[in-house]
Amino acid sequence: MSTYVFGHTNPDSDSIVGAISLSYLKNALGEDTVPTRQGKISPETEFILNKFGGKLPELKTSYAGEEVYIIDYSDLAQAPEDILEATVLGIVDHHKLGDLTTATPLECWIRPVGCSNTIVKEMYDAAGIEIPKDIAGMMLCAILSDTVIFKSPTCTKVDTKACKELALIAGIEDYKALGMEMFIVKSAVQGATPRELTTRDYKEFAMGDTKVGVGQLEVVDLKVFDDMKADLHADIKKIKEESGLHTVMLLLTDIMTEGSQILVVSDDNSKIENAFDIKLENEEAWLAGVLSRKKQIIPFLQPQF
């Protein structure tokens, strides 16, 4: 019987690459694991897999009765619906500790760093297992993505050190250029439907008695949104209605000028205005310096609820 290794619903590059890199490590240590995914991959992840010849993990959304390792989350909201019927052997994550509990002892590698693949790198080093060249390249990209090429306030020295070492293994000299290439792919939003874009990197957060949804699109130039901002705004309004949320926000993040334009639909705009000390105009505002949803958005919204 195989053990499955997978990231969160609505997978980002860290979730997909993490499933691949962690599964390889576990197999090198004598286990029999298979990387899987809970949903559709993004163009950025597709770029990474193509670049390094990575195999797309199979789609699998039900795990009752199975043994699993999970990566990049520890909360039930991002887990498969039947996760409590699975045996969680381990968790690798870099977020706050979520509400998943287990019935048996397990292995948790949770660190306050910028990316789960930085922790997988630590695990390879601790186990004395060599990282294959292609997997090192993918892990490098996952870290560059999560840390916005080291610009995000979530980035730590551990992340930058891991990237340097992974770049050496992968034989990549200018890994910041690779990061830019990847973000340019990420910025290609033409041809995608508004819903594909609003949900590409979308998460819901429990706040007070209610829920807030926050999506994020990171691009190298906000001009790509000029013709579609109205459609995106209309779509987050729909999401809010469909899901009965208090607030839905979309962050259009410009990684070059380093800031985010926020589009807001809320039952109470003053909460958002108070959280960031701003005035919304047409339910929009510019937040200079804001790149990280985790560190610069959620902790400020939470006390308003």
Q: Is 299 in the site for its own copies (CB under 8 A)?
A: yes
162, 294, 297, 301: which one binds its own copies (CB under 8 A): 294
Q: Among residues 111 and 238, whose Cβ is nearest to its own copies?
A: 111
Q: Which range of residues in 10-18, 58-66, 103-111, 164-172 is near its own copies by CB under 8 A?
A: 103-111
60, 111, 195, 229: which one binds its own copies (CB under 8 A): 111
236 close to 198: Cβ distance less than 8 angstroms: yes
62 close to 86: Cβ distance less than 8 angstroms: no
Write phi, then psi, for 7 (nearest 5 degrees): -95, -160
Among candidate residues 14, 92, 77, the one with its CA nearest the CA of residue 207: 77
Q: Among residues 186 and 294, whose Cβ is nearest to its own copies?
A: 294
Q: Is 26 in the site for its own copies (CB under 8 A)?
A: no
263 close to 284: Cβ distance less than 8 angstroms: yes
CA distance 38 to 202: 14
Q: Is 302 in the site for its own copies (CB under 8 A)?
A: yes
Q: Among residues 97 and 177, whose Cβ is nearest to its own copies?
A: 97
CA distance 174 to 78: 34
Please identify which residue in the block is written with the tokens 């199979």: 58
Instruction: Report which DSSP code applies to 129.
Output: P
> What is the H or E stretch that residue 147 is in?
none
Q: Is 286 in the site for its own copies (CB under 8 A)?
A: no
For residue 105, give every residue at least 6 positions away whose Cβ sits within 8 Å of its Cβ, in sequence order, or none: none
Q: Which two tokens stand for residue 6?
A: 């997978």
Q: Among residues 97 and 230, whose Cβ is nearest to its own copies?
A: 97
Q: Among residues 92 and 169, whose Cβ is nearest to its own copies?
A: 92
40, 96, 161, 164: which one binds its own copies (CB under 8 A): 96
Q: Is 105 in the site for its own copies (CB under 8 A)?
A: yes
1, 30, 55, 104: which one binds its own copies (CB under 8 A): 104
Instruction: Report which DSSP code applies to 281.
Output: B
CB count in 10 Å sphere of residue 242 = 9
Q: What size, in residues, is the chain?
A: 305
DSSP 248-264: EEEEEEETTTTEEEEEE
Looking at this protein, which amino acid is placed at residue 143? I
Q: Is 126 in the site for its own copies (CB under 8 A)?
A: yes
Q: Is 65 in the site for its own copies (CB under 8 A)?
A: no
CB of 159 to its own copies, least distance (A): 13
CB of 196 to its own copies, least distance (A): 29
99, 130, 221, 241: which one binds its own copies (CB under 8 A): 99
Q: Is 64 in the site for its own copies (CB under 8 A)?
A: no
What residues pair up with 281 in beta bridges, in sequence order?
A: 284
Q: Which range of residues in 11-19, 30-38, 87-95, 275-283 is near its own copies by CB under 8 A?
A: 87-95
Which parts of this chain interact with its own copies (CB under 8 A)? Answer: 88, 91, 94-112, 126, 294, 299, 302
